[in-house]
Chain A
Amino acid sequence: MKLTGSQILIETLIEQGTEVVFGYPGGAVLNIYDDLYLNAHRIRHVISAHEQGAAHAADGYARATGKTGVVLATSGPGATNLVTGIATAHLDSVPMVAITGNVACSLLGRDSFQEVDIVGITLPITKHNYMVKDVADLADTIREAFQIAQSGRPGPVLIDIPKDVQINTAEFIPQAACTPVLPAPVEEADLVRAVELIQNSKRPYIYCGGGVLRSGAGAQVMALAEKLDAPIGFSMMGLSAVPSDFPLSLGMTGMHGSYVASKAKTEADLILALGVRFSDRATGDKSKYAAGAKVIHVDIDDAELDKNIAAHLGLLGDVKEVLDRLLVLISEKKKPEWLARIAEMQQYAAAHSGMPLGELSPFGVIDAVSRRTEKDTPVATDVGQHQMWVAQRYPFASPRTLISSGGLGTMGFGLGAAIGACIATGKRTVLFTGDGSFGMNLNELATAVSQKLPVVIVILNNGVLGMVRQWQTAFYQKHYSQTTLERKTNFAALAEAFGARGLAAATPEELERCLDAAFSVNGPVVIDCAIDKDERVLPMIPPNCSVEQIILN
């Protein structure tokens, strides 16, 4: 059948399994929005307050489910407003398809109204991108985009569709949803080498990253850990792959990781790194990183092997596939001495932890929230101190429950992402944010209200840009340059102005009352929690240092 370009777009999105599109209308996508109107019963559209929020929502949707998030924006400023959202997804390997309208082909390259070269702009922050100039290529381009976004190491793909291509017609033949291209199985000889290294290890350590979540290999990681008595440390992106209360879980490693997770890694003789990319925030000083250990690195992206840390053995493949095969080949080997040493480190860390300041402590707030959440409650964060506190403290119980911007560290990510995760899962969703981050994209409260989303927004409000301030305290002689905000924002009143519930807490008792109320409301609630501005995120390994320089209290 002959369809217009915009009809083809809608049909292909539905064909590829898209249920929700996050977006914002505009001149260059009017035709698409007309067809969204006519197909509203088949595909849901969620309008954001700003295109950046829509991009983060599509991202949050994808992180919470593993499905490909879809975002739609008009040309020019609509397209450029997506950029931060696309880059965020790119750095964290999130499958996303971004669709932008553009001016008609005849107007391209003439600096027409709302024309921007979004393909050029997003070249370094997409897995691939397209400008479709012939409507006959549109359906297959969209299909290919979905396949690229989902295959191997996922990532965002952008499709720019000029207005005349949306109007022109072409033959459309429906197809089945594309399936991701699977990586080739790992060579048997490499597996045998891995088994040898693992069996000879006295102090093995599993380093679990986002690839484990993508691969759905949490159960395999736990089985391997138990077989080997290997403790597990996580990159921030790997959190929630294994429940936090799993006995061998040591929590997050890296700059703000737990003392034990970082220390055990330096004492290990073998690091089994699964779906990680050894980012600088995770490794610190690379020359001292795991100096005494052999590293087996499993990743689905060949370019990550030997990029940041040279591995003794690199296995290119899917983590789950590799672990399933390893588990058959590896025999159980208990290591009481190694576990005793880990327990010793744990005692040391407990004895050296700091005391909270103020009435409401960050961990106190997180604990109070976690007493009310369910195992599969999505927990989104923004970026900064509150993010690290959540990563350190929140008891993750189910995969994909942490929705947080790791690689790009995007302040303003959280609310959009929480909206996406809430829509994707249909579950009450928690957003932990800071007064700084929340101030960046709080306009999306309007979206949460209009969509009647049960999002509990917990602002850890210290009145300062806490993470930057913490660095200024430690490394810049307390020169608090532009980090003391002196704002008078009444977040509770602001929430009410948006049509949400707004609450404020300064004591544990008030917080309990607020949370009881928040978790019974069927819509967005903001709780402004006053915490002390001098609370720090600890432990901290200063940048480009090792665990020897860790600051514990």
Chain B
Amino acid sequence: MQKFIIGLLVSNQFGVLTRVSGMFSRRGFNIDSLTVGETENREYSRMTVTMTGDEYNRDQIIKQLRKLHDVKEVKQMDPERCVSRELILIKVRATSENRQDIMDAVNVFRNKIIDFSPQSVCMELTGESGKLDAFIELMKPYGIIEMCRTGMISMDRGVTSLQVPD
């Protein structure tokens, strides 16, 4: 079993997310995360899918994605040659005693505090998934009130890019 990152360009139309996610569930593919958002060209959205599986699963996913009419381009991202980021918002319980410890962790992980109350601190953190996982572990003892995680987005380093074929 390996982790794979797949980048997609899809038509920016209603129902496309359903088509893609429906294909995954119908064919029994397990995905770890799926993100979607509009690109600089409003006609297209970009998706990043992360999955765990073997090469058979990976090849089938890519081929089945290519068959969807609204999917314009599919590419397996090379982890060595791409940058990947994920964002979390995480709210933890804080008291006057432990607030400084939390602030120290925020500094080490280079995240931002975006909200503050007498009983809580809310932070924003971006990075690769491993870093986020580590930070979440670190925050557990304080008591995580709630958290949101975007799932990974990923693009090539350098000048290459995912393009809709002519």
On A, residues with C-beta under 8 Å from B are 119-120, 123-124, 127-128, 148, 301-303, 305-307
Contact = CB atoms under 8 A, between A and B. Distances in A.
B69 A124 contact: no
Interface of B: 15, 18-19, 22-23, 26, 56, 59-60, 63-64, 66-70
Given A119-B15, A148-B69, A303 B60 contact: yes
A306 B56 contact: yes
B15 A303 contact: no
Given A124-B26, A306-B56, A306-B59, A301 B18 contact: no
B18 A123 contact: yes
A306 B70 CA distance: 24
A301 B60 contact: no
A127 B69 contact: yes
B42 to A, nearest CB: 17
A124 B22 contact: yes
Nearest to B22: A123
Given A123-B18, A128-B68, 17 more contacts: A119-B15, A123-B19, A124-B22, A124-B26, A127-B67, A127-B69, A128-B69, A128-B70, A148-B69, A302-B63, A302-B67, A303-B64, A303-B67, A305-B63, A306-B56, A306-B59, A307-B63
Nearest to A124: B26
A120 B63 contact: no
B18 A120 contact: yes
B22 to A, nearest CB: 6
A303 B69 contact: no
Contacts of A127: 67, 69
Q: Name the residue in A302, A303, A305 with the highest tally of chain B Cβ atoms < 10 Å from its Cβ.
A: A303
Nearest to B56: A306
A148 B68 CA distance: 11
B56 to A, nearest CB: 7
B56 A301 contact: no
B17 to A, nearest CB: 12
Contacts of B59: 306
Contacts of A124: 22-23, 26
Contacts of B64: 303
Nearest to B63: A303
8 contacts: A119-B15, A123-B19, A124-B26, A128-B68, A302-B63, A302-B67, A303-B60, A307-B60
Q: Name the residue in B56, B63, B66, B70 with the highest tally of chain A Cβ atoms < 10 Å from its Cβ.
A: B63
Contacts, number: 28
A378 to B, nearest CB: 30
Given A124-B26, A307-B60, A302 B66 contact: yes
B76 to A, nearest CB: 14
B18 to A, nearest CB: 7
Contacts of B66: 302-303
B27 to A, nearest CB: 10
Nearest to A305: B63
A301 B60 CA distance: 12
B29 to A, nearest CB: 12
B68 to A, nearest CB: 8
B22 A301 contact: no
B26 to A, nearest CB: 5
Contacts of A302: 63, 66-67
Nearest to B15: A119
A203 to B, nearest CB: 28
A128 B59 CA distance: 21
Contacts of A301: 67
Nearest to A153: B67
Contacts of A305: 63
Contacts of B18: 120, 123
Contacts of A306: 56, 59
Nearest to B70: A128
Nearest to B59: A306
Nearest to B69: A128
Contacts of B56: 306
Contacts of B67: 127, 301-303
A307 B19 CA distance: 20
Nearest to B19: A123
A138 to B, nearest CB: 16
A431 B56 CA distance: 41
Nearest to B68: A128
A119 B13 CA distance: 14
A123 B20 CA distance: 10
Nearest to B25: A124
Contacts of B69: 127-128, 148
A123 B15 CA distance: 10
B11 to A, nearest CB: 11
Contacts of B19: 123
A123 B70 CA distance: 12
A128 B70 CA distance: 9
A187 to B, nearest CB: 17
Contacts of B70: 128
A50 to B, nearest CB: 27
A123 B26 CA distance: 11
A84 B70 CA distance: 24
Nearest to A145: B69
Contacts of A128: 68-70
B70 to A, nearest CB: 8
A400 to B, nearest CB: 25
Nearest to A144: B69
Contacts of A303: 60, 63-64, 66-67
A344 B79 CA distance: 57
A123 B25 CA distance: 12
B154 to A, nearest CB: 23
A306 B64 CA distance: 12
Contacts of A148: 69
B103 to A, nearest CB: 48
